Structure 1
């Protein structure tokens, strides 16, 4: 009831009280007996003090002195009773109004409190963060229900207990106790991260709760599940590591390619001059044997530079459609001899395996290198498993393996039961010259070469290994729709074909240029020479007659070989061109593959290989890839 309603009731009660007194007076005046006992009523005027003599009550009393005593006394009595009742009713109304007002205030306060409690409960129980309140000793006073999802412990079991009493690990209890002590003593906010036994990572913000005196009476904490964030940070660190590794490998690859280029120039001269010297010697002469040993050493160096070029992805390749099952079957006997009798080889070919496009020689070398590494990892024998399969990689998988793109692949897996590798070894696994083998038992280029070959084929390689649990290499190659074709058998022996055509040799490396001049001059060709592109153009301008062939290095200062060929053909359209280089450049290749219609001879080359390709090009033969022969055949007489 509102206070205004109480006031209205009070007024009504006063009016009723006055009316009651007037009605009583009229009734008494008309019917009261004259002989009433005056003594009985005499005290009434003294009971109700009428105050000043000039008040209306006193005048009324004086005017009625002559009236009968009993009637006058009764009128006064009832009138005073009416006024007294009016005062009592008014006071009661005021008290009732105050009580009702107080009740309304209490009701509103209770309603507001319930609303705040409901709001807090909705926020707390609906929160995905754990909200908790603890006393100074670390006992839980309140905790919201979400805690069960993070810890596996229902919320009611927390109340009144400490971390230790709840059975949390000792190290976590020590961390939590130290954090609470710092919050209470320093009266400051603290943040702490920890991992629960369920594997959930928690980020907890702890702050003090103060009493009116400014002392810490409790601790409030909010804990958030940051497991996903931790996983994302770990994944980001892994991707950053992959990026740094790729950048490092790219830088080392450039270095390796440059070193191989310079070595190939030197080896071209060494091998070529050894071959020319042997042509002038009889096999039985003592000097022939000595020169032959020099040739063998040079051949070993050729193999080393080929591995460097393979790692740097600057090796000239012949990609074609391959069936990996057929390739493995052809190599199986060789692999068995390589790994020895104490290692059991098992091959599981994939059914209906798709074809891939790669260089056959490179992937034969990949299998051989992986088999040798597996053998060395199993000094006491073991098992070697080679598997192939078709596999489709989706976006989710490729997000975790950034070197791959979604699509259809053929996977080649080579697994051994050897010693396995540590994380530190795996981080450096594909770096050139990195090896865990004893000195003299490995160059450290085997896996680096594999890495370069796989990248050059548009694929990816992954390694799974733990110490004591063996190692698995997985090579992913894009799967093709076409079928593999068998490679035709190479032609027979190479011949030193003679000729009389004019050949312009452009080579900035003097040793290589001298070898080519000697080799072609012996065969009857008319040789012109230049050290760079500008000198070659000047010579061609003053040369009278045809220039049948241009043999030019690809990488030269000032003007590269392709630019030279284009400008020379403007004045000598009859000129055919053979490019040569220690490694392939994008000038005439795309990812190591020679552009269609171009002729290329890789360094180091022998006089026999040079003579063969020169002869074929001058006869308008098909483009011949001489790099397949360079360093692979022995042309000594």
Structure 2
């Protein structure tokens, strides 16, 4: 057995006491036997007993004194430690912002509450000791049942309660209260201790964060564009818009992908990885660029990609915003194509206008020369015929150019396209040859189209000739006619390929062949003027461009579907006629009429054309005054009141157009007849506001008979 320091001291005192007692007994017994007579022995024995009692009392007193002093020292030491511990506890309790409390579950009393209670609750803690139940009255009425349940649970286990209190000033604060049961040696809970703190600001901040999170999630969910966040191409966030764009059932399906590179076309992945590597290393790759996306079914779409790097959970991640711009990019391509065609059309129209001026001189003078020869010199007459044929071919070329630029004169009317094309069967058979099989079909109740029948025949013939050239070994040419409708929901393929599709009912004419087909690059340029893949002696490159211009001027649309090795289908969409009418027939040309000496004021800025017209009018019996521009003509008009007719070109140099000259002349001479001429067509002049309906226009190039008829009819109409 091992003893402490006090036990060792007590043993030593007991040993001394035992030794002293033993010596006392031995010494007193020897004295009784040898130092005193028998008469003294009874008395000596009494004294001996009393001495033993005294020695025992002295020893016990010394032992008691030792233990009393030792115990007092320990008590003083323990009390000092307790006081020091109490001071530390009070230092903590007085300065901590949380409420420390101690309760007794047996009598539901409160043994201690730290000063922070008065700060947080705004109430004195005295009431807590005198009436512990009054504390529950500070709890918000809606939270009392919950709080009581939590207090009962603390007699079995620790828990955390969050409840509201109402301060005396009416302010409501949120409290987090942690309680812990304390058990004695027998396992009985005899105390409950806890810590309560004000978490109002914490809950407000948490609620604010939750609100921001909710807003963020709503924004992400409602965003019309796809949002993808990834780290090293492992997706960590995706929204439903991205899933819809790429054809996935939900955003979770995208998040389940091991690699989000699967969302992009294979040819894009190296570029994406390279840009991502540069971005994560602090480089500056493009922040916005287009790329090709790959949908769940494998189809390819065009995406606009905007990328940024952000902190995500303490680590950098890449946020990419993806928008499906397939339709937009296709529209932009169609718009650029339309603008290019418009620019080419303006150029070709201008060229045709100037060329018509030249042809007016050539054809007119050749006609005069032909009249003067009158069969007297067959060789010279043959040369004149050659000149006229060449000039007429040039006129046909300008006609095609004007058709492409949509400035030709059209006579649209309700046309039975089925009967018209069926009537071309024999012509097509003879033209295309026996090696081409022709199949023509149409719906039973095909609608009439509002179109110029003659120009439609030329267009169909052009398409069939192109189809024949694409089938040198023979093949099948199919012409199919159907009623159709173009709008946002129907026939989207055709609508998507053209930026200016007007919704509505159409008559569709599809010309298909089984020939060599065209690659995409050729299809993109097929309708440009002078573009051809044929040998230089087999085509001018104006056939399809003429068809394109004619269809557009008619108010229709055109679509091409071609595959190399399988053939081509060109589909014409013609506007449906509202009411069937008979095609308009051109009246027969009136015979040439001579002049009667009337004075004609000619305004023409082209010297050759001006000289030619002066000569022709003079030969027809008119007097002529000529001007090189509008200002000169206006001056002559002011000086000569006997002018009978103003004959003016519309587009002139010098700052005044023919229309402006005519308006000024009408202010001087309100009843003066006016005849316009132009290398542009009447349709383009009307569309662009150069002339108005009812005004008379002579189309260049014109021959002597056309000039005579128009001048005479203008003078007679306004006489």
The reply to whether TM is greater than 0.5 is yes
CA distance in 2, matches of 1:443, 1:465: 21
Instruction: Pick from 321, 328, 331 the counterpart of residue 236 of structure 1.
Output: 328
Report the counterpart of residue 628 of structure 2 in structure 1. Answer: 531
TM-score (ref. length: structure 2) = 0.59
Residue of structure 2 equivalent to 1:496: 592
- 1:459–1:477 Cα contact (<8 Å) kept: yes
What is residue 715 of structure 2 aligned with on the other side? Answer: 618
Q: 1:245 to 1:44 in 2, by over 3 A?
A: farther
Helix, strand or coil at the partner of 1:304: helix
Deviation at 1:181, TM superposition (A): 9.9
> Does the aligned pair in 2 maintain the 1:314–1:592 contact within 8 Å?
no
Q: 1:50 and 1:240, CA in 2 relative to 1: closer, same or farther beyond 3 A? A: same
| SS state at 2:530 partner | coil
> What is aligned with 2:384?
291
Q: Structure 1 residues 286 and 424 mapped into 2: Cα distance closer, same or farther (>3 Å)?
A: same
Cross-structure match for 1:18: none
Change (3 A) 1:535 1:367: same
Q: Distance in 2 between matches of 1:474 and 1:526?
A: 54
Would the alpha carbon gap of residues 469 and 572 (structure 1) be closer, same or farther in structure 2, given more than 3 Å must change? same
Take 2:456 and 2:628, find their aligned partners in 1: how far apart are those partners? 37
SS in 1 for 2:423: helix
Instruction: Give the aligned partner of residue 556 of structure 2.
Output: 459
Q: Is 2:393 the partner of 1:393?
A: no
Give the match for residue 660 of structure 2.
563
Secondary structure of the structure 2 residue equivalent to 1:260: helix
Counterpart Cα distance in 2 of 1:100 and 1:314? 100
Q: Is the 8 A contact 2:630 2:661 kept in 1?
A: yes
**CA distance in 2: counterparts of 1:520 and 1:53, whole angstroms:** 147
Task: Please name the residue that 1:541 is paired with.
Answer: 638
Give the C-alpha shift of residue 279 in structure 1. Answer: 0.4
In structure 2, the gaps of 5 or more residues are 1-62, 77-181, 198-209, 222-226
**Structure 1 counterpart SS, 2:414:** strand
Deviation at 1:178, TM superposition (A): 9.5
CA, structure 1 residues 170+416, in 2 after alignment: closer, same or farther (shift >3 Å)? closer
Instruction: Please tell me whether the aligned partners of residues 188 and 208 of structure 1 are also in contact (alpha carbons under 8 angstroms).
Output: no
| 1:461-476 matches, cutoff 5 A | 461-476=558-573
Is residue 550 from structure 1 mapped to residue 646 from structure 2 by the alignment? yes
Task: Report the Cα distance in structure 1 between the residues aligned to 2:552 and 2:530, rounded to whole angstroms.
Answer: 18
Q: Report if the CA contact (8 A) 2:682-2:699 is conserved.
A: no
How much has 1:250 moved relative to structure 2? 1.4
For 1:274, what is the secondary structure of its paired residue? helix
- Aligned alpha-carbon RMSD (Å): 5.3
Residue 342 (structure 2) aligns with: 250
Distance 1:553 1:220, change over 3 A: closer
Q: Offset at 1:404?
A: 0.5
Residues 1:506 and 2:598 aligned together: no
> Can you give the 5+ residue segments of structure 1 that lack an aligned partner in the other structure?
1-42, 56-89, 106-117, 212-218, 623-637
Deviations 1:489-537 (CA, angstroms, capped at 9, x unpaired): 6426x63332314141222222222222222322323333332223223
Quote the residue 2:4 is aligned against.
none
Contact 2:243 2:249 in 1 (8 A): yes
Q: Within 2, Cα distance between the matches of 1:423 and 1:571? A: 60
- Which string of whole-angstrom CA distances, capped at 9 and with x for unpartnered residues, describes residues 54-80 of structure 1? 99xxxxxxxxxxxxxxxxxxxxxxxxx
Q: Computing the radius of gyration over CA atoms, which structure comes out larger, 1 or 2? A: 2
Q: Does structure 2 retain, via aligned residues, the 8 Å contact 1:133–1:143?
A: no
Give the distance between the partners of 2:551 and 2:427, measured in 1 at CA: 22
* Alpha-carbon distance in 2 for matches of 1:173, 1:387: 44
Q: Deviations over 1:382-435 (max 9, x none)?
A: 122222222222234456642212222222222222211112112222211111
What is the deviation of 1:318? 3.0
Which digits, 9 at most, give the CA deviation of each residue in 1:432-476, with x for residues without a partner? 111111112111111222222222222222222122222222222
Distance in 1, matches of 2:711 and 2:616, equals: 11
Distance 1:576 1:475 in 2: 43
Name the structure 2 match of 1:317. 410
- The separation in 2 between residues aligned to 1:177 and 1:511, in whole angstroms, is 68
Structure 2 residue aligned with 1:590: 687
Aligned counterpart in structure 2 of residue 603 of structure 1, from 700, 710, 719: 700
- Partner SS for 1:243: helix
Contact 1:338 1:371 in 2 (8 A): no
Structure 1 residues 526 and 466: alpha-carbon distance in aligned structure 2, compared to 1, 3 A threshold: same
Measured at CA, do residues 319 and 182 of structure 1 come closer, stay the same or move farther in structure 2, by a change above 3 Å? closer
C-alpha contact 1:325 1:388 (8 A) present in aligned 2: yes
> Deviation at 1:133?
9.0
Q: 2:475 aligns with which of 374, 378, 382?
A: 382
Q: Distance in 1 between matches of 2:545 and 2:391?
A: 22
| TM-score (normalizing by structure 1) | 0.66
Specify which of 76, 92, 102 is matched with residue 184 of structure 2: 92
